[in-house]
Amino acid sequence: MSPDLTGKVAIVTGGGGGIGRATALLFRQHGARVALFDRSEESLRAASGEDDGMMAAVVDVTDAAAVAAACARVEERFGRIDILVNVAGGGLPRTLDATPAADWDRIVALNLSAPFYCIQAVAPAMRRAGGGAVVTVSSLAALQISLNNGASYTSAKSGVLGLTRHAAFELARDRIRVNAVLPGPIMTPQMDAKIDPATREAIPRKVPLGRWLTPEEVAAPILFLCSDAASGCTGTHLVVDGGLHIGSPTDAATYFARRDG
C-alpha cells in the first residue's frame, strides 16, 4: 500500500539538498505540503521551484527563536503541522586534540540541539492537529564512530538516539511518534564534492550491498516512519547503510574467495 500524506503538512530541515531535498520531493509525490528549512537561499530556491505546495524558509536551526518563528509561519500558511524531519547536520574531520571548544559547540548545536529546538517548536502545533510524526536523521556513527568526522559528530549523533527515545516517551500521550534513521555511506552532493578518489572507491568494498547508497534510499524509510504504516513505531530507529553495520572484518570479495571453490 502506497503511503498517503494527502492533507498533511511536513517541515524538512536541511531541505535544500541531499537527503532533505529527496525527502521533501518524495513527500510531495505522496500528497503532503512541505516547508523546507535551510541556511542557503539558493539551495532552497532550486529545491522548491514554483511549487505552491512547498514553502521555503531561510532558517538557522541552531537558533531556537528563529526555529520557533519559522514553525509559526508554517502553521499560519498551511494551517497545521503534522510531520517534522530533522535532516540538517554536519561535522568536521578533527581529532580530540585538534578540536577547539567552539567547534565542539557548533557541531553539537547543529546535530543535537537543533533537532531538540525543532521538536519543541512543532509539538504544540502537532497537538492541535491531533498528533504527528517526527524523524531525525542520525548516523551509523551513533552505533560505531564516524569515518569522516570527529568526536563531536559521533557524540551528537549518539545523543540523537537518546533524544528520540525520551521525546517519544513524553509525546506518546499526544499521539506524536518520534523515531530516527541512521544512514551509512550516502552519496549526497555534499559528499560527492568533498570525497577523495581513494575513499570513493574503497567504501563500496566494505558495504555488503557493494555500493554507495542514494539520498532517495534514505528518504523512503523516512516516508515509512512518517506514514500510518508505522503507526505502532515510536522511540526506535532504522539503519540505512547497505549492511555496513553488520561489521564484517573483511570485504565481500575476500570473504567469498576463502569459501567458494
Three-state secondary structure readout of the chain: CCCCCCCCEEEEECCCCHHHHHHHHHHHHCCCEEEEEECCHHHHHHHHCCCCCEEEEECCCCCHHHHHHHHHHHHHHHCCCCEEEECCCCCCCCCCCCCCHHHHHHHHHHHHHHHHHHHHHHHHHHHHHCCEEEEEECCHHHCCCCCCCCHHHHHHHHHHHHHHHHHHHHHHHHCEEEEEEEECCECCHHHHHHCCHHHHHHHHHHCCCCCCECHHHHHHHHHHHHCHHHCCCCCCEEEECCCHHHCCCCCHHHHHHCCCC
- Give catalytic status of residue 255 as yes or no: no
Q: Is the pLDDT of residue 135 over 70?
A: yes
Average pLDDT over residues 133-161: 95
218-230: average pLDDT = 98
As given in the structure block, the three cell numbers for residue 121 are 517548536
C-alpha cell recorded at residue 248: 564484517
Mean pLDDT, the chain, integer:
94
Question: 5, 153, 188, 225: which is the annotated catalytic residue?
Answer: 153
In sequence order, what are the beta bridge partners of 55?
35
Q: Rounded to an integer, what distance in angstroms lies between the CA atom of residue 247 and that of residue 234?
A: 26
Contacts of 44 (CB under 8 A, 6+ apart): 15, 16, 36, 38, 56, 57, 58
Answer yes or no: are the C-beta atoms of 134 and 178 closer than 8 Å.
Answer: yes
pLDDT digits (tens, 9 = 90+) for 1-52: 689 999 999 999 999 999 999 999 999 999 999 999 999 988 898 888 888 9
Q: In whole angstroms, give the CA distance from residue 198 to residue 115.
A: 33
Give the least confident one: 53-62, 185-194, 226-235. Answer: 185-194
Q: How far apart are CA 91 and CA 250, in angstroms?
A: 27
Q: Report the pLDDT averaged over residues 100-106.
A: 96
- The model's pTM is 0.94
At 125, is the pLDDT very low, low, confident or very high (cuts 50, 70, 90)? very high
The residues near 90 (Cβ < 8 Å, ≥ 6 apart) are: 107, 110, 111, 149, 153, 190
Inter-residue contact 81 to 132 (CB < 8 Å):
yes
Q: Which grid coordinates are listed for 53?
A: 505546495
Q: What is the percentage of the chain residues whose pLDDT exceeds 90? A: 82
Distance CA 69, CA 84 (A): 15
pLDDT at 261: 60
